[in-house]
Amino acid sequence: MDKQGNIIIPAKFDSLQYEKEYIITYQSNKLGLYSKKGQIILDNIATKIKKINEDIILFQVNQRWGGINKTGKSTIFSFISICRF
């Protein structure tokens, strides 16, 4: 709920985690992602979510990783692992 009393995120999730720009939703052991304005970025399908930078968010589904931007548009196609370099 925002300061004016408007519902931002529906009360259907097991829990929420507030980050700087995003809200991570937890439901049935799956993660999803909303903007602070209540826009769905990623449905609750992921087992892991990692913010790479201001523009790229990685998520894992069924042992495969993908990437989306702030609006939820796919920017990186499926891959198996992540490593630092």
Q: What is the DSSP string of 5-55?
A: S--SS-TTSSEEEE-SSEEEEEETTEEEEEETTS-EEEEEEESEEEE-SSS
Does 30 fall in a domain?
yes
Per-residue pLDDT of the chain (85 residues; tens, 9 = 90+): 778 888 878 889 999 998 888 999 999 999 999 998 889 999 999 999 998 888 889 999 988 888 998 888 887 666 666 656 5
Does 40 fall in a domain?
yes
Does 7 fall in a domain?
no
What range does the domain containing 67 cover?
Answer: 15-79
| CA–CA separation, 74 and 27 (whole Å) | 22
Does 3 fall in a domain?
no
**Could you tell me the CATH number of the domain that includes residue 42?**
2.40.10
Minimal CA–CA distance to 70: which of 45, 37, 48? 37
